[in-house]
Structure 1
Amino acid sequence: MTQTLTRHRGTAAAPPARAPRRRGADTRAGYTFLLPWLLGFILLTVGPMLSSLYLSFTNYNLFEAPKWIGLDNYTSLFQDERFLQSVGVTLGYVVFGTPLKLAAALAVALLLNNATRGQGFYRSAFYAPSLIGASVSIAIVWKAMFGDQGPVDQGLSFFGINLGGWVGNPSMTMPMMILLTVWQFGAPMVIFLAGLKQIPQELYEAASVDGAGRFRKFVNITFPMLSPVVFFNLLLETIHAFQIFASAYIISNGEGGPAGSTLFYTLYLYLRGFSDFRMGYASAMAWLLVIVVGVITLIFFRTSKSWVHYSGDSK
C-alpha cells in the first residue's frame, strides 16, 4: 500500500518538474524564429539610426572622415532660409492636405457603407489609386496632366481660366500636390469602412424613433463610435504627410521649384545630403524630423482623451 502511494506521488510530481524545461525549450524556439527579424532590426534599423545620430554632430561629406563639430549642424538649421522655407511648405501640406484626404475618405466610406449593389467594384476602384499613387510613373503622369499643355489646363482654358499650367505656377503647385494626396484616399477609406461596419444598427434605429435626422445621427452616433478609427487614420496620415518625397522630387525635377513651392522637408534633406554632400547636416535634419513627429504624436495621444471614445469606456 505504501509503495503504491509513493509510486502515485512520484507520478504526480513529475509534470511540474518537466514544465520549466518545456518552457525553456519553447522560449529558445521562439527566439530562434525571431532571430532573423532581430538581426535585421539591429543591423538595418538600429545601427543606421545610431550612426546617423553620431553623424548629425559631425561635418561629413561622404569622402572624408567625419569631424566632430557638436551642435553646429542643429544651430545652423535655423539660420538657413531654405530650411525654414521647407518647414513652411511641409507644414502647409500637412495642415491642409491631411484633413482634406481624411474628409474625402470618410465621405466615400459613408456612401459605400449605404450602398447595396456593386460594393466590391467601387471599393476596388476607389482603393486602386492608393496602390499606384506613390509610384514614380504616377507622379510623371500627374506632372503631365497639370503642365501648361496638359488636359487640366486645357479644360480650364475652355471655361476662360488661363493659368499657364500648374507645375510652373508657384501659387498652384501646392494645390496640385494636395490634390494628388487627396486622390490617394483609398487606404483610410477602407479603414473607415471597416469601422462603420462595427457600429450597431440598433443605435440608428433608436435615433430614428426619436426623430433624429442624418446630421444628428452622424454627430451623436457615427463620429463618436468611429472616433478611434478617425484618430488612427489622422495619426497615420499625418506621419505619412511629413514623409512626402517621391512625388515632390519628380514634379519639381529634384529642385523643389518653382520658387521653392515644392521644397518639402525630405526633399531638401536629400539635396543637402546627396547633392551638396553635407551628410552631417542632412542627418541633423533627419533627427529633427524624428523629434518633431514624436512630439506631434505625443500631443495627439494626450489630446485624444477629450474626443476619442471607446466602447469599453465607463463614465
Structure 2
Amino acid sequence: MKTRTYRNPVGVSRYTGLLLISPFIIGALLLIIYPFISSFITGLTDGSSFVGFENYRHILSDENIRSSAAVTLKYAAILVPLKLIVSLAVALLLNMELKGIGIFRTVFYIPSILGANLAVIIMWQYLFTSEGLVNLLLEAVGLSPVSWYGDTDAALFIIVLLRLWEFGSTMIIFLAALRDIPRELYEAARVDGCGRTRAFFSITLPQIRNVIFINLVLQTIAAMQEFNAPYMITGGGPLGSTRTIGMYIYEEMFTFGDEGTANAISWLLFVLIALIVLIMYRTTGRLRREDR
C-alpha cells in the first residue's frame, strides 16, 4: 500500500494556528480571566489594604444582603417557571404549519429585541401608574385600581411581568427543539389512538427534556443577576421589596464606594448561582436515571 506524506504549505509554520487564535486568547485573558482574578483579590481588601475574609463575614451578618437575597430568590422562583411555561406554549402554537406563521414568529420575538431599554421602561412605568392604562382597564371591568408602586407584592409583579414579556429568546430555543422532533413519532402515536394531550406528555416533553434543562439554567442565571428592570422601574422599592442582589452590589460600589464589599458580594452571588445550577443538574440527572 502506497504511503502518502503531507507537506506543510509554503509559509505555514507550527505557530500559525496559535497566531490565528491569539485574538481570542488575548481577549479571554484581558476581559475574562484578569477581571475574574482581580475581583476576587479586591474582595479581600477594603479598597486600600488587605483584610482577608472580613468583608465576607460582614456580608453574611448583614440583614440587608439577606433581604436582597430573599428578594432575588423569590423573583427567580416566580419568573423562571412562568417564562418556561409561556415560552413553551407559544412555541407549540408557532410550530403549527399555518399560512403566514413566519410573521407571527417575528412578532413574538420583537419584545426580546427591544429588551428593557429606556423607551420600554418609560412605557412600562406609565402603564402601572395610578392613572395608567392597567388601572383604567381594571376600573372598566369593575375592579378596584391597584397601587402598583406602593404594594410590595405588586411592585415585584411589575418586574416579573416585564421579563415575562421578553420570552422571545427562550421561545426560539423551544421552537428549534420542537421542529427537530421526528414527525414519525406523532404519526405512529396517532395510529395507536394517542390524543394530543398524551402525545405532548409522552413524546414532546421527553424529546425536549434537555432543551428544557438548558433554558431552565440560562433563565435562572439571568434572573439571579437581575439589575436593570428593578433599578429603572422601582428603584428597589417599596421597602426594598424589589431590591435584588445586583442592586445591592451597585449601591455598595457606586453609592458608598466600597469596592471590597461589592466584589465580595459578587463572588457570593457567583457561588450561590453555581450551587443552584449544581442542584438542578443533580436533580435532573437523578430523574433521568429513574426514567431509565
What displacement does 1:302 show?
Answer: 2.4
For 2:128 and 2:165, how far apart are their aligned partners in 1?
Answer: 14
Aligned mates of 2:145, 2:98 — CA distance in 1: 42
Aligned position for 2:260? 280
Partner of 2:271: 291
For the residue of structure 2 that corresponds to 1:67, the secondary structure is coil
Q: Secondary structure at the match of 1:68?
A: coil
Q: Report 1:1-315 matches (<5 A).
A: 15=5, 18=7, 25=12, 27-60=14-47, 66-253=48-235, 256-307=236-287
Distance 1:288 1:103 in 2: 29
Structure-1 separation of matches of 2:145 and 2:70: 24
Distance in 2 separating the partners of 1:101 and 1:13:
59
Specify whether residues 96 and 28 from structure 1 end up closer, same or farther in structure 2 by C-alpha distance, changes over 3 A only. same
Q: Is the 8 A contact 2:226 2:244 kept in 1?
A: yes
2:121–2:232: 8 Å Cα contact kept in structure 1?
Answer: yes
Residue equivalent to 1:9: none
Q: Is the 8 A contact 1:150 1:165 kept in 2?
A: no
Q: Distance in 1 between matches of 2:222 and 2:172?
A: 17
* Deviations, residues 201-230 of structure 1 (Å, cap 9, x unaligned): 111111112211111101110000011111
Task: Tell me the CA shift for residue 231 of structure 1.
Answer: 1.1
After TM superposition, the runs of 4+ consecutive aligned structure 1 residues lying more than 6 A away are none
Q: CA deviation at 1:308?
A: 5.4
Q: 1:30 deviation in Å?
A: 2.0
User: What's the % identity of the aligned pairs?
Assistant: 39
By how many angstroms is 1:167 displaced? 2.3
Does the 8 Å contact 1:57/1:70 carry over to 2? yes
Closer, same or farther: CA 14–160 of 1 in aligned 2, 3 Å: closer
CA deviations on 1:9-65 (whole Å, 9 max, x unpaired) are xxx88936x4xx66x9465222212212211211122111111101111111xxxxx
Question: Which amino acid in the other structure matches residue 244 of structure 2?
Answer: F
Aligned partners of 1:133, 1:304: CA distance in 2, in Å? 30
Instruction: Give the unaligned 5+ runs of structure 2.
Output: none
CA contact (8 A) 2:136 2:145 kept: no
C-alpha contact (below 8 Å) 2:155/2:234 kept by paired residues: no
1:110, distance to aligned residue in structure 2 (A): 0.6
- Contact residue 257 and residue 263 of structure 1 kept, 8 A: yes
1:146–1:166 contact (8 Å) kept in structure 2: yes
Compare CA radii of gyration and give the structure with the larger one. Answer: 1
Change (3 A) 1:25 1:114: same
Do 1:227 and 1:307's aligned partners in 2 also have CA atoms closer than 8 Å? no
Question: For the residues of structure 2 that align with 1:102 and 1:27, how far apart are their CA atoms?
Answer: 48
- TM-score, normalized by length of structure 2? 0.92
Number of matched residues? Answer: 289
Cα separation, 2, equivalents of 1:45 and 1:301: 25
Separation in 1 of the partners of 2:218 and 2:112?
14
Deviation (angstroms), 1:169: 2.2
Q: Deviations over 1:148-203 (max 9, x none)?
A: 12111121122333344312322201111111111111111111111111111111
| CA distance in 2 between partners of 1:27 and 1:286 (Å) | 41
How big is the alpha-carbon RMSD for the aligned residues of Structure 1 and Structure 2?
2.1
Amino acid at match of 1:248: P
TM-score (normalizing by structure 1)? 0.86
Structure 2 counterpart of 1:151, which letter?
A: L
